[in-house]
C-alpha cells in the first residue's frame, strides 16, 4: 500500500511553471521556426525535468518505505501517460480515415511504433527524417515521448539496484550520473559530422550503419534514446544532490536570494539558447546542414541551464522563482503541458498539411484556441478520471451490475447501447481503415518518383566513348535512366531541382533534355555545364531553375556564366518558396543577370505562378500535373521551341 501514503516530495507548483515554459517554447517553434528557432530545446528541458522528478520520487519512496515498488511505479506512469496518448492516436486515425486516406498506410507504422514506445527508433529506421518540411506527419512529435517512456521502463530497475548500495554512496551515484551525461555529450560530438545533409549517395559521411542499414547520422543523434539521455542523467544527478524534502532543514534552504540569482542565470541561458540555437541551418550554396554547436556540447549546456532553473524552482525560499513560475497561469499550463504537447502538433498539421509551413499569428491564435479546448476536454474527461481512479470506480460499478444482475430499466439500457454503438462506429471504421490501407507516397513524392524516369543524369557516366548506348545506366537511388551520351549536341538542356523534376516528363516530351534532382543547389549546375562543355556537348540553349533549396551568391552565377558565355541563350527561372528568405535573395540575383550578360533571359516564374496558385501543391512550391504542363509550355515558349 506504499502508493497510498503521501510522498516525501509533495507538489511543487514552480516545477509545473518550468513545464509551462518548456511547452510554450516547443509550441511556438512548431508554429513557425522564425519566431523561436531554438524552441525545440524545450524538449531537452522536459528531459531534465523527467530525470529529476522520477529519480526524486524513487529516492523518496526508498527513504520512506525502505524499498521501491516497481509495479506501482509503472502503474502510476501508465495511468498518467497512456490515456491521453491512446486518445490522440484514436483521434488522428479517425481524422485521417475521413480526410487523409492516402496517408493511412504510412500512419499504421507510426501508430504501432507509438504504442510500443519505440517511435523514435522507428523514425530513425524508416528514414522519415525529423527535419523534412514537405510531409504530412501528424505524429512526428511522439519521438520525445518514446525516449521518456523507455526511460520510465528501465530507470526504476536501475535505481532499485543503485539504492541497494546504501544512502552513503548516493553522492557517488550522482557523480556517476554527471559523468555519464558528459560521456554522452562527448560521444555525440565525436559522432556528429559537419556539412551538407543529402542522400546516402551524395553525402555518405552523413550516414551510419544501424542494424545493417544506413541511417541518417543527424537523425540518429537527434532522436536516439542514448544520445538524448544526457538531460535525463543531469536531472537524475540533481535529484541525488538536491532533495526538496531535505532543503527545508538544511543551511542552503534559507538562501532564497542566491537561488533566485541561479534561476536568472539558468533562465538567461535557456533564453539565449532558444533564440540562437537551431536544429538545422541553411548553408549558402550547400543546403541544409546540422547546427554544429548544438551537437558539439549544446545539448549539454542547455541541460545545465535547465538544472539551474529546476533547482531554483523547487527551493523553498526562492521567492522570485515561485512568483514567476508558481502562479496560477503557469501552473495551469504546466499541469496540462502533456496534453498541450500531444495535441498541438496534429492540430497544426491537419490545418497546414506540411511540416515546414509556418503559421501566421492569426492562424496560430485560432489553432491554439482549438488546441486548448481539446487539451482541456482530454484533461478533465480522459486523463484525470483515469489518474484519480474515477474511471476504475465507474467500470467496477458497471461490472458489479452485470455480475449481480442489478435491474436497469429498458430505456436506460437502450440509451447505453445506442451511445456505445455510436461512439464505437467511427473508431472501428478508423481502425479497420488503418489496418487495411496500402502504403502510399504523398502527392509530391509520388509525382517526383514518377518523373525520375524522364531525367538524365549528365554526370552519371564521365566516359561517353565507352558507353554502350543501348543499355540503361543505374545511378544513385536505384533509378533506371537512359543516357543521352551519344556524342550529339544537347539542343535544350534543362538543369533543375525538385520543382523541375516534377515537370521532367512534360519537358522531355517537348524536346528538352532534363537533368533534375531533389535537394540540388545552384552551385551544382556549374559542375554539369563544365563537364558538358569539356566534352563539347553544350548546345544552343541552357535552362537553369535552381535556388529552391539554398541561398546562393553572385559569384556562383558569375562562375556558371563564365562557362556559358558562348551559349546563345541561357534561361534562368526565378524561384517560388513563400516565406523563405532565400526566395528574395536568389530572385534578386537572378533578375539582375540580364544586365550583366547579353545571352541571359529570365522567366519570372515566381510572379507568374503567383497568379495561378492552383498549379501548385499546398506547399506552394511543387507542381501539380496541370502545373507541370503549364511550366513546360512557358519554358519552351521562352526559348522559342514550343
Q: For residue 425, what pLDDT is reported? A: 86
pLDDT value at 619 more than 90: no
CA distances from 293 to 34, 194, 241, 276, 410 (A): 19, 10, 29, 10, 68
CB 609 within 8 A of CB 596: no
Q: What percent of the chain has pLDDT over 90?
A: 72
Euclidean distance between CA atoms 558 and 595, whole angstroms: 12
DSSP letters along 544-576, please?
Answer: EE--SSS---HHHHHHHHHHSTT-SEEEEE---
pLDDT value at 470 more than 50: no
Q: For residue 588, what pLDDT is reported? A: 97
Euclidean distance between CA atoms 397 and 418, whole angstroms: 20
pLDDT value at 400 more than 80: no
Encode 582-621: b = buried (16+ Cβ within 10 Å), e = exposed: bbebbbebbeebeeebebbbbbebbebbeeeeebbbbbeb
Cell of 47: 528531459
Cell of 528: 554539369
In the predicted model, what is the mean pLDDT of residues 207-221? 93
CA-based torsion, 181, 187, 191, 195: positive or negative: positive
**Cell numbers 542514448 correspond to what residue?**
226
**Cell numbers 482541456 correspond to what residue?**
376
Instruction: Judge residue 147's burial from the number of C-beta atoms within 10 Å of its C-beta, 0-12 exposed, 13-18 middle, 19 or more buried.
Output: buried
Q: For residue 403, what pLDDT is reported? A: 61
CB 61 within 8 A of CB 7: yes
For strand 569-573 and strand 538-545, is the pairing parallel, antiparallel, or unpaired? parallel
Q: How many beta carbons lie within 10 A of that of residue 130, not counting itself?
A: 20
Q: Which band of pLDDT confidence, cut at 50, 70 and 90, is reported for residue 272?
A: very high
- Structural domains for the chain: 2-434 (no CATH), 444-638 (3.40.50.1110)
Euclidean distance between CA atoms 431 and 237, whole angstroms: 43
Q: Which of 509, 493, 475, 596 is nearest to 545 (CA)?
A: 493
Cell of 188: 555525440
Q: What percent of the chain has pLDDT over 70?
A: 90
Q: Which band of pLDDT confidence, cut at 50, 70 and 90, is reported for residue 608?
A: very high
Q: Which band of pLDDT confidence, cut at 50, 70 and 90, is reported for residue 26?
A: very high
Residue scoring higher pLDDT (475 or 185): 185
- Which of 25-29, 105-109, 410-414, 566-570 is predicted with the least confidence, judged by mean pLDDT? 410-414
Q: Which band of pLDDT confidence, cut at 50, 70 and 90, is reported for residue 478?
A: very low
Euclidean distance between CA atoms 396 and 384, whole angstroms: 17
Q: How many beta carbons lie within 10 A of that of residue 293, not counting itself?
A: 14
What tens digit of pLDDT does each residue of 113-125 get? Answer: 999 999 999 999 9
Cell of 103: 496517408
Helix (H, G, I), strand (E, B) or coil at 540: strand
Cell of 506: 512534360
Query: What predicted TM-score, i.e. pTM, was given to this entire model?
Result: 0.88
What tens digit of pLDDT does each residue of 275-294 get? Answer: 999 999 988 888 889 999 99
What tens digit of pLDDT does each residue of 42-89 get? Answer: 999 999 999 999 999 999 999 888 889 999 999 999 999 999 999 999
Q: Which of 521, 504, 412 is nearest to 450 (CA)?
A: 504
Amino acid at each position: 500500500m506504499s502508493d497510498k501514503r503521501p510522498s516525501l516530495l509533495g507538489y511543487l507548483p514552480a516545477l509545473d511553471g518550468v513545464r509551462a515554459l518548456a511547452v510554450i517554447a516547443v509550441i511556438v517553434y512548431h508554429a513557425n521556426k522564425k519566431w523561436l528557432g531554438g524552441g525545440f530545446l524545450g524538449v531537452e528541458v522536459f528531459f531534465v525535468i523527467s530525470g529529476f522528478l522520477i529519480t526524486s520520487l524513487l529516492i523518496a519512496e526508498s527513504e520512506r518505505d525502505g524499498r521501491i515498488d516497481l509495479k506501482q511505479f509503472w502503474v502510476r506512469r501508465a495511468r498518467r501517460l497512456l490515456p491521453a496518448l491512446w486518445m490522440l492516436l484514436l483521434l488522428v486515425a479517425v481524422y485521417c480515415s475521413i480526410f487523409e486516406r492516402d496517408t493511412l498506410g504510412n500512419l499504421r507504422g507510426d501508430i504501432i511504433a507509438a504504442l510500443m514506445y519505440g517511435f523514435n527508433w522507428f523514425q530513425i529506421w524508416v528514414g522519415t527524417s525529423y527535419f523534412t518540411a514537405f510531409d504530412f506527419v501528424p505524429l512526428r512529435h511522439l519521438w520525445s515521448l518514446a525516449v521518456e517512456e523507455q526511460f520510465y521502463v528501465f530507470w526504476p530497475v536501475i535505481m532499485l539496484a543503485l539504492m541497494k548500495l546504501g544512502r552513503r554512496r548516493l553522492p557517488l551515484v550522482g557523480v556517476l550520473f554527471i559523468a555519464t551525461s558528459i560521456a554522452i555529450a562527448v560521444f555525440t560530438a565525436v559522432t556528429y559530422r559537419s556539412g551538407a545533409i543529402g542522400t546516402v549517395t551524395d553525402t555518405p559521411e552523413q550516414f551510419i550503419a544501424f542494424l545493417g542499414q544506413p541511417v541518417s547520422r543527424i537523425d540518429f543523434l537527434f532522436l536516439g534514446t542514448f544520445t538524448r539521455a544526457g538531460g535525463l542523467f543531469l536531472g537524475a544527478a540533481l535529484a541525488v544532490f538536491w532533495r526538496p524534502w531535505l532543503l527545508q532543514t538544511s543551511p542552503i534552504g534559507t538562501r532564497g536570494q542566491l537561488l533566485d540569482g541561479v534561476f536568472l542565470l539558468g533562465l538567461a541561458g535557456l533564453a539565449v539558447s532558444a533564440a540562437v540555437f537551431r536544429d538545422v541551418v541553411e548553408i549558402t550554396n550547400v543546403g541544409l546542414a546540422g547546427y554544429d554547436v548544438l551537437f558539439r556540447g549544446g545539448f549539454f549546456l542547455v541541460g545545465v541551464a535547465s538544472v539551474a532553473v529546476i533547482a531554483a524552482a523547487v527551493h523553498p525560499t526562492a521567492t522570485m522563482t515561485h512568483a514567476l513560475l508558481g502562479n496560477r497561469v503557469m501552473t495551469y499550463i504546466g499541469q496540462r503541458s502533456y496534453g498541450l504537447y500531444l495535441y498541438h502538433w496534429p492540430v497544426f498539421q491537419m490545418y497546414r498539411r506540411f511540416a515546414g509551413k509556418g503559421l501566421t499569428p492569426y492562424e496560430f491564435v485560432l489553432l491554439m484556441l482549438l488546441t486548448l479546448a481539446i487539451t482541456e476536454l482530454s484533461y478533465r474527461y480522459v486523463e484525470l478520471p483515469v489518474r484519480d481512479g474515477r474511471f476504475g470506480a465507474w467500470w467496477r460499478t458497471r461490472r458489479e451490475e452485470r455480475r449481480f444482475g442489478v435491474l436497469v430499466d429498458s430505456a436506460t439500457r437502450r440509451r447505453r447501447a445506442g451511445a456505445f454503438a455510436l461512439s464505437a462506429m467511427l473508431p472501428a471504421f478508423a481502425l479497420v481503415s488503418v489496418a487495411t490501407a496500402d502504403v502510399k507516397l504523398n502527392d509530391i513524392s509520388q509525382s517526383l518518383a514518377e518523373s525520375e524516369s524522364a531525367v538524365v543524369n549528365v554526370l552519371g557516366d564521365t566516359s561517353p566513348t565507352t558507353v554502350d548506348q543501348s543499355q540503361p545506366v543505374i545511378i544513385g537511388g536505384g533509378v533506371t535512366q537512359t543516357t543521352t551520351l551519344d556524342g550529339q549536341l544537347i539542343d535544350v538542356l534543362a538543369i533543375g531541382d525538385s520543382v523541375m523534376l516534377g515537370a521532367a516528363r512534360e519537358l522531355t516530351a517537348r524536346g528538352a533534355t532534363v537533368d533534375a534532382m531533389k535537394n540540388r543547389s545552384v552551385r551544382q549546375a556549374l559542375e554539369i555545364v563544365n563537364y558538358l562543355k569539356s566534352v563539347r556537348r553544350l548546345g544552343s540553349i541552357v535552362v537553369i531553375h535552381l535556388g529552391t533549396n539554398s541561398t546562393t551568391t553572385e559569384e556562383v552565377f558569375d562562375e556558371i556564366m563564365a562557362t556559358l558565355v558562348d551559349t546563345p541563350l541561357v534561361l534562368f527561372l526565378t524561384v517560388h518558396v513563400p516565406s523563405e528568405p532565400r526566395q528574395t535573395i536568389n530572385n534578386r540575383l537572378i533578375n539582375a543577370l540580364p544586365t550583366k550578360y547579353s545571352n541571359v533571359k529570365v522567366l519570372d516564374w515566381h510572379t507568374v505562378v503567383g497568379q495561378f496558385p492552383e498549379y501548385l501543391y499546398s506547399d506552394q512550391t511543387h507542381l501539380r500535373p496541370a502545373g507541370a504542363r503549364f511550366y513546360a509550355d512557358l519554358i519552351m515558349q521562352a526559348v522559342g521551341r514550343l
